[in-house]
Structure 1
């Protein structure tokens, strides 16, 4: 698999989301809260997560069981988009605890865990990384 424009968009959006997510989460923690920073970083993060999920629809290939062009990893697309919607429903209902927990879970699941899986040697990014380091 080569680095196509769709994969480049997906990769750039995902890496930016991994970087911006902690800023949005941190800005509302502790005694000193930063609501403007939280909101700005949060909207940027949500936009990046939507771009990551939508671009993933157009990425095919990879090992494992398949349903047409889609693999198991594609199940994260509706889960991520659905949880983003749910987090804004919580926010509209002023359920800040539900909003916070949902956003934290999306970050851990979609950014940290899914991101770690992309570094496996049989995945495109993982293969590129480990080959460049001389490990694989």
Structure 2
């Protein structure tokens, strides 16, 4: 699969994840809709992070000829989602909340900021 195809798949999963994640942050926690949307959010985030691992870094230094620093946020996502899920299942709401905040800040806000920087594909799509 080409880089461009992977980028489209990544974008199609990350945009709804961003919208759902933002909604979940500002709404009541623990409700049935929170739990349902939370599962959708987690699946979208895992799929998006996994897809991004197949995309070779286009900016900055490469590790193993493929990964860039932004890929660290994909690994954070792949770690944080199961931690958040099982923490909620086991009643450890404090750990669930910390994992979800780390996931949103790192996986959405920080990664999104990097993706919008000059030289990156999303920046070119939106601003060039």
What is the Cα deviation at residue 120 of structure 1?
0.6
> What residue is the counterpart of 1:23 in the other structure?
23
What is the Cα deviation at residue 26 of structure 1?
2.9
Q: For 2:31, which of 15, 29, 35 is the aligned residue?
A: 35
What is the Cα deviation at residue 3 of structure 1?
6.7
> What residue is the counterpart of 1:55 in the other structure?
51
Tell me the matched-pair count.
Answer: 126
CA contact (8 A) 2:46 2:78 kept: yes
Could you list the runs of 5+ residues in structure 2 that have no partner in the other structure?
A: none
Q: CA RMSD in A?
A: 1.8
> Segments of 4+ in structure 1 off by > 3 A?
none
> What residue is the counterpart of 1:69 in the other structure?
66
| SS of aligned partner of 1:70 | coil
After TM superposition, the structure 1 = structure 2 runs for residues 103-114 of structure 1, keeping only pairs within 5 Å, are 103-114=100-111
For 2:47 and 2:103, locate their aligned partners in 1 and report how far apart those are by CA, in whole Å.
14
Kindly provide the CA deviation profile for residues 24-61 of structure 1, in whole angstroms up to 9, marking residues without a partner as x: 233335xxxx6111011101100110111110011114
| 1:6 equivalent in alignment to 2:6 | yes
| SS of aligned partner of 2:119 | coil
For 2:35 and 2:25, locate their aligned partners in 1 and report how far apart those are by CA, in whole Å.
10
- TM-score normalized by structure 2? 0.88
- TM-score normalized by structure 1? 0.83
Kindly provide the CA deviation profile for residues 50-102 of structure 1, in whole angstroms up to 9, marking residues without a partner as x: 11111001111412110211111112222111111111232232111111121
What is the Cα deviation at residue 5 of structure 1?
1.9
Could you list the runs of 5+ residues in structure 1 that have no partner in the other structure?
A: 132-136
> What residue is the counterpart of 2:85 in the other structure?
88
